[in-house]
Amino acid sequence: MNSTELLLTRQSTAQLTSPAPDQTSLDTILKAAMRVPDHGALTPWHFTLVTGNGLNTLSEIFTQAAKQANFNEAKTLKAGKMPYRAPLIIVVSSNIVEHEKVPKQEQIITAACCVHAMQMAAFSLGYGAMWRTGDFAYSRYVKQQLSIDEKDEIIGFLYVGTVVKQAVIKASKSYKGYLSHL
């Protein structure tokens, strides 16, 4: 796949299964994240790889977070199942640095670019990936359990794995209607 084809056909995949990307592919995915535009070269991000027994741990964390949020039984059960939607989850969090010229907002944007870069890298390598957030991305308890500092944010849970069923590439949206000229 050439780069233009990647940019024009990239899409997310919700239904994922094992195997997770092999070590070489994972290496490429993580290297893609490290290439994002980064004002001040602050590398204001952190990646937590969740695989194997880590998925069980994350399931327990989500279940506890759901209980703390007083979710009903069905929603709590659903929360515990979420991490099993892929064999690999890359939790992307910010690692904000105090900087006189680079506000927090820009550092969050940079960390978000990491998620996008990794989603694209996975897609270009023939794997599926999907960026998810939801309640647990904004849960103080989940952050604590993942050793993410109070000042930082969970930017996304990037679910990565093998595509269950190859999807038709969706039609592109037209940019007309999103343009103006000065």
Ligand X SMILES: Cc1cc2nc3c(=O)[nH]c(=O)nc-3n(C[C@H](O)[C@H](O)[C@H](O)COP(=O)(O)O)c2cc1C
Q: Where along the sequence are the contacts to ligand X (CB under 6 A)?
A: 11-12, 130-134, 156
Q: Which is nearer to ligand X, 103 or 134 (CB)?
A: 134
Answer whether 154's CB lies under 8 Å from 143's CB: yes
Smallest distance, ligand X to C-beta of residue 181, A: 27
Smallest distance, ligand X to C-beta of residue 105, A: 14
Smallest distance, ligand X to C-beta of residue 10, A: 7
Q: Which is nearer to ligand X, 39 or 85 (CB)?
A: 85
Answer whether 121's CB lies under 8 Å from 32's CB: yes
Q: Which is nearer to ligand X, 88 or 130 (CB)?
A: 130
Answer whether 88's CB lies under 8 Å from 119's CB: no
Q: Which is nearer to ligand X, 97 or 167 (CB)?
A: 167
Q: Give 131's contacts (C-beta < 8 A, 6+ positions apart).
A: 12, 115, 116, 119, 156, 157, 158
Q: How far is Cα 108 from Cα 175, in angstroms, rounded to an integer? A: 26
Smallest distance, ligand X to C-beta of residue 179, A: 20
